């Protein structure tokens, strides 16, 4: 048996928060290894990177999620007792509830609603001196996903709710005020969505059958009971919050069009069918979800290393998507790499890996890809805009990150 390389530090939590997306890749490079041992929040943890590591991490016989997510993340980003914390049959049953929303017909309905809201926002932007794309797209997506999910939302409420969903995501790598903003946002959102669940159950509010709000309100657990009202709110927010978060990727799509303008014409002509490869490359190239964690179910051996039961293991998502063994010139933005791309469930993992139903892979991957493609079509074909001088840089040490200026556009005109 070999010894896992040890990151020599009393505790690396501060280094993780300072180095962000590069914390794991930096150390893998330093130790010449896809695995190293460290200490996070004063407990031992193993970090792993690469497609082979992902294949092990998503083996449900080897890993479980119960007890893996720190309370600080549950209180902001995830919520408590949601699908992310479940294992085995309980996870499967809950995941089926999410995946029932992802039928082609339902995705089509979301696409129609979102297109309608985009048109409305482009007309509004025409009247604005400048538009902060990141904030506006959060609001736009909040309106669209609430309508899709059967959640009533008044016009005057859109900004507050969108900001709250954004704050929960932004709290991930934050401390102090950033964390508290996410905490307060979650408390407010759970109260709001909890009362909607209650009203639907009591018949005081009508929602269409089949919408997420209806499905979650009347979902039955393995024992035949309804979800606790608070847990139902957490799960409905598990659809609303990440859909609003697609604004981060859409902002990166706008940045990619700015940084690599040759793709604007290629995308506009539609000749090379490049929209999907373009958004896939945005998901690979730009940083969003940095890593995911799980706990070892039962001791096992990987590459001659003993991985002990109960150990927290973090899988490096960002580094795996930039791994030179998988991606030629990984630091080059090259959408063409996704034309005729032969992927596996483990080598391209911006939203986790493995399988959707049996594992924890993101339930909203198709929603994300579809919504990004639609945004790219709007940005290249249905609106004109200018990009004034601004700071478009983004820091890899902030998790999550986005362009410093949040991407400002001016002189917007519908086309």
How many residues contact ligand HEM, by CB under 6 A? 24
The one among 27, 64, 95, 406 contacting ligand HEM by CB under 6 A: 95
Closest approach, Cβ 363 to ligand HEM, in A, equals 4
The one among 12, 114, 238, 280 contacting ligand HEM by CB under 6 A: 238
Residue 107 CA from chain centroid, whole number: 18
Closest approach, Cβ 219 to ligand HEM, in A, equals 13
Q: Of the ranges 9-17, 36-44, 241-249, 251-259, which one interacts with ligand HEM (CB under 6 A)?
A: 241-249
Rounded Cα distance, 11 and 16, in Å:
10
Tokens of 405: 């200026």
Closest approach, Cβ 285 to ligand HEM, in A, equals 13
Virtual torsion, Cα 257, 261, 266, 268, nearest 10 deg: 60
Tokens of 310: 């109960």
Instruction: Please say which residue, 246 or 376, places its beta carbon nearer to ligand HEM.
Output: 246
Q: Of the ranges 124-132, 152-160, 267-275, 347-355, which one interacts with ligand HEM (CB under 6 A)?
A: 347-355
- Contact (CB, 8 A) for 238 and 82: yes
The one among 245, 267, 282, 379 contacting ligand HEM by CB under 6 A: 245
Closest approach, Cβ 10 to ligand HEM, in A, equals 28
Q: Is 83 in the site for ligand HEM (CB under 6 A)?
A: yes
Map the footprint of ligand HEM across residues 267-306, applying CB under 6 A: 288-289, 292
Q: Of the ranges 9-17, 128-136, 177-185, 238-246, which one interacts with ligand HEM (CB under 6 A)?
A: 238-246
Q: Is 219 in the site for ligand HEM (CB under 6 A)?
A: no
Map the footprint of ligand HEM across residues 352-381, applying CB under 6 A: 352, 360-364, 367-368
- The residue sitting closest to ligand HEM, measured at its beta carbon, is 364
Rounded Cα distance, 306 and 101, in Å:
40
Instruction: Please say which residue, 142 or 412, places its beta carbon nearer to ligand HEM.
Output: 142
Q: Is 79 in the site for ligand HEM (CB under 6 A)?
A: no
Q: Is 239 in the site for ligand HEM (CB under 6 A)?
A: yes
Rounded Cα distance, 101 and 233, in Å:
16
Instruction: Please say which residue, 288 or 305, places its beta carbon nearer to ligand HEM.
Output: 288
User: Phi, psi (5° rounding) for residue 9?
Assistant: -165, 145
Instruction: Please say which residue, 99 or 339, places its beta carbon nearer to ligand HEM.
Output: 99
Closest approach, Cβ 356 to ligand HEM, in A, equals 8
* Strand 383-386 with 408-414, pairing: antiparallel
Instruction: Please say which residue, 279 or 412, places its beta carbon nearer to ligand HEM.
Output: 279
Any bridge partners for residue 116, and if so which?
none
Instruction: Please say which residue, 326 or 390, places its beta carbon nearer to ligand HEM.
Output: 326
Q: Is 69 in the site for ligand HEM (CB under 6 A)?
A: no
The one among 69, 84, 211, 370 contacting ligand HEM by CB under 6 A: 84
DSSP H or E segment with residue 319 = helix 317-320
Q: Of the ranges 29-37, 159-167, 213-221, 244-252, which one interacts with ligand HEM (CB under 6 A)?
A: 244-252
Map the footprint of ligand HEM across residues 307-326, applying CB under 6 A: none
Instruction: Enumerate binding residues for ligand HEM (CB under 6 A).
Output: 83-84, 95, 98, 238-239, 242-243, 245-246, 249, 288-289, 292, 350-352, 360-364, 367-368
């Amino acid at each position: 048996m070999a010894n896992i390389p040890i990151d020599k530090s009393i505790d690396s939590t501060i280094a993780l928060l300072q180095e962000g997306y590069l914390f794991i890749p930096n150390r893998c490079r330093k130790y010449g290894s896809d695995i190293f041992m460290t200490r996070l929040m004063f407990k031992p943890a193993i970090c792993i990177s690469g497609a082979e590591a992902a294949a092990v991490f998503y083996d449900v016989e080897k890993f479980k999620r119960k007890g893996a997510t720190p309370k600080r993340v549950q209180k902001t980003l995830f919520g408590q007792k949601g699908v992310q914390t479940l294992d085995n049959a309980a996870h499967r049953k809950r995941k089926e509830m999410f995946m029932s929303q992802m039928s082609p017909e339902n995705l089509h309905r979301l696409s129609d609603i979102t297109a309608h809201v985009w048109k409305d926002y482009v007309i509004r932007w025409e009247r604005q001196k400048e538009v902060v794309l990141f904030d506006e797209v959060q609001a736009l997506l909040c309106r669209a996903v609430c309508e899709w999910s059967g959640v009533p939302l008044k016009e005057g409420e859109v900004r507050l709710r969108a900001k709250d969903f954004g704050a929960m995501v932004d709290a991930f790598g934050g401390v102090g005020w950033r964390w508290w903003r996410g905490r307060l946002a979650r408390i407010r959102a759970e109260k709001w969505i909890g009362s909607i669940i209650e009203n639907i159950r009591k018949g005081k509010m009508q929602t269409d059958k089949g919408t997420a709000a209806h499905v979650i309100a009347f979902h039955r657990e393995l024992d035949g009971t309804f979800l606790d009202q608070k847990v139902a709110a957490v799960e409905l927010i598990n659809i609303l919050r990440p859909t609003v978060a697609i604004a981060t990727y859409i902002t990166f799509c706008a940045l990619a069009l700015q940084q690599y303008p040759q793709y604007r014409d290629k995308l506009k002509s539609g000749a090379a069918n490049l929209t999907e490869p373009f958004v896939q490359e945005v998901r690979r190239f730009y940083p969003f979800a940095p890593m995911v964690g799980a706990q070892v179910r039962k001791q096992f051996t990987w590459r001659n290393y003993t991985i002990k039961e109960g150990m927290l293991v973090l899988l490096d998502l960002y580094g795996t998507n930039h791994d030179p063994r998988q991606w030629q010139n990984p630091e080059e933005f090259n959408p063409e790499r996704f034309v005729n791309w032969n992927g596996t469930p483990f080598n391209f993992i911006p939203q986790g890996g493995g399988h959707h139903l049996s594992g924890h892979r993101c339930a909203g991957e198709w929603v994300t890809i579809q919504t990004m493609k639609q945004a790219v079509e709007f940005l290249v074909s249905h609106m004109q805009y200018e990009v004034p001088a601004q700071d478009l840089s983004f820091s890899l040490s902030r998790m999550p990150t986005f362009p410093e200026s949040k991407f400002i556009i001016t002189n917007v005109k519908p086309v």
